[in-house]
Amino acid sequence: MAGDSVIAVALLLTDLLFFVAAAETPEVPMPPWYVVLPLDIAMVAPLVFRRKATLWSAYLLLLIGIPHSALELGAASAFAMMISIYSVLVYVGRKQGLLYLLATVVVSGLQLWIDTPEDVWILAIIALFSTALCWTLGEFAGARRAYHEEVEARLHLLETERDQATRIAVGEERGRIARELHDVVAHAVSVMVVQADGASYAVDGNPEMAKRALQTISETGRGALAELRRLLDVLRSDGDDEPRVPQPDATALTDLADRIRQAGVPVTLAIGPEALAGLPAGVSLGVYRIVQESLTNTLKHAGQGAQAEVVVRREADVIDVKVTDDGAGRAKQLVPVATKVAAHTAPPRKLTVPGGNGLIGMRERANVFGGTLEVGPAPGGGWQVHARLPVRLAT
């Protein structure tokens, strides 16, 4: 409105100068100043609102321009008509612009027909070229305005897609952190609970065993705290310049098996030659977490006297991981011919903590690398977790 106000004031001053010059010339009759001044102000005032109320401003200028041009008070009416044609075309649309142009032609034609000047053809040609120029400028400005609106719409769409992608990434990161927290906490707490129970029973009769159990609890707790601190550092940090504690990988399976043995479950670990060589970091972490969750479930659910076996083999571009337990020694009580019957009749036991987060986490780890996971009763009794992960990730 500031720029439009400047235009309006410039036209008003032009008409007032014309009035002053005409007043100095007695041959040119002019109405009195109290008629000219209000009419000149009314002629230019609607220009200030030509962007906010385009149609109202344009048609008001058209009506006020009739007495203004009839009294020959200056050029403000002609310039206002040209500006109105441009404004309606740009800010309203081509259809309304054509209607307004038609109304302007009709009004101007009637005025020329009622009061025909000597140079009518010259005035008609000037009006025609001026109208064509304003219409052309309006078309260019309208096209540019439509282009900017399209760009703004696309930018808004891109921002929306970026926000959606950010939400998806945040959800995936939350799921990853939730899996890591579950793996760390469930394993550590299970080991600590078993060791604490054993220490409470052995504290009187076997103080040395109770001491070892307490030491295992201490080491497991410190390890869990270190893992939790690492995850919290990832959540808190914004940059990549802070030190990171490395995550465990498949090479730490021996230490994992030792911790489970100390917790009271004998574990047999069989790793094929070159099975862990050249594993991608994500696959190696996935192997470790799947074995960790499986042994934790054995520790929590298999019962006293259970034994576990972990077999890791490399088959071309696939790493095969199998974790089995005998379900508290039930497999030893079954004869070989009854293997299939036992597999179907053995009552299933719970795999994980309530909610099935452990099983979900293992399946997600297998799926994210394009692998497979089978969980269920083992042939001959007990329980089995069988995962196959491709070594070479798809690019």
User: Which amino acid is it at 248?
Assistant: P
Structural domain including 381 reads: 249-395
The tens place of each residue's pLDDT in the chain, 395 residues long, gives: 788 788 888 888 887 787 777 767 766 667 777 777 888 888 888 888 888 888 888 888 888 877 877 777 777 777 888 888 888 888 887 788 888 888 887 877 777 676 666 666 676 677 777 778 878 887 788 788 888 888 988 988 888 888 887 778 777 766 766 666 666 676 777 777 777 877 777 777 778 877 877 887 887 777 777 777 766 666 665 555 444 556 778 888 988 888 888 877 899 999 888 888 878 877 888 888 899 888 888 888 877 778 899 999 988 889 999 999 987 544 333 333 323 323 333 333 433 333 356 777 788 778 877 889 998 888 877 889 999 998 875 44
- Name the nearest CA neighbour of 90 among 151, 144, 141, 150: 141
In sequence order, what E strands does 295-382 have? Answer: 308-315, 318-325, 372-377
Residue 267 lies in a domain: yes
Q: What is the distance between the alpha carbons of residues 31 and 22, in angstroms, rounded to a whole number?
A: 10
Number of domains in the chain: 2
For 71, the enclosing helix (H) or strand (E) is none
Residue 209 lies in a domain: no
Domain with residue 379: its CATH number is: 3.30.565.10
Residue given tokens 């009580």 in the structure block: 333
Dihedral sign for Cα atoms in the order 32, 33, 35, 40: positive
Q: What is the distance between the alpha carbons of residues 255 and 19, in angstroms, rounded to a whole number?
A: 102
Name the 3-class secondary structure at 14: helix
Identify the domain boundary among 70, 101, 116: 116
Residue 162 lies in a domain: no
Q: What is the distance between the alpha carbons of residues 154 and 149, in angstroms, rounded to a whole number?
A: 9
Going from the C-alpha of 36 to that of each of 39, 65, 228, the distances in angstroms are 5, 13, 85
Tell me which DSSP letter residue 75 carries.
S
Residue 391 lies in a domain: yes
Identify the domain boundary among 116, 131, 149: 116
Residue 229 · residue 245 · CB < 8 Å? yes
Residue 29 lies in a domain: yes
Q: What is the distance between the alpha carbons of residues 185 and 311, in angstroms, rounded to a whole number?
A: 24
Identify the domain boundary among 116, 148, 165: 116
Q: What is the distance between the alpha carbons of residues 194 and 300, in angstroms, rounded to a whole number?
A: 8
- Name the nearest CA neighbour of 259 among 202, 204, 212: 212
pLDDT at 312: 92
pLDDT at 385: 92
First to last CA, the chain: 57
pLDDT at 119: 66
Name the 3-class secondary structure at 44: helix
Residue 319 lies in a domain: yes
Q: What is the distance between the alpha carbons of residues 290 and 279, in angstroms, rounded to a whole number?
A: 15
For 270, the enclosing helix (H) or strand (E) is strand 267-271
Going from the C-alpha of 182 to that of each of 185, 233, 298, 336, the distances in angstroms are 5, 17, 16, 37
Q: What are phi and psi of 267, to 5 degrees?
A: -125, 130
pLDDT at 357: 63
User: String of b and e for 283-321 (b: at least 16 CB within 10 Å)?
Assistant: bbbbbbbbbbbbbbbbbbbbeeebbbbbbbebeeeebbb
Residue 229 lies in a domain: no
Name the 3-class secondary structure at 239: coil
111 lies in the same domain as 253: no
Q: What is the distance between the alpha carbons of residues 2 and 201, in angstroms, rounded to a whole number?
A: 89
Point out which residues pair with 320 in neighbouring strands.
313, 388
**Non-local CB neighbours of 247 within 8 Å, separated by 6+ positions:** 230, 281, 285
Residue 343 · residue 380 · CB < 8 Å? yes
Instruction: Look up the pTM and report it.
Output: 0.44
Q: What is the distance between the alpha carbons of residues 225 and 208, in angstroms, rounded to a whole number?
A: 26
Residue 186 lies in a domain: no
Residue 393 · residue 310 · CB < 8 Å? no
For the record, the structure tokens of 7 come out as 């235009």
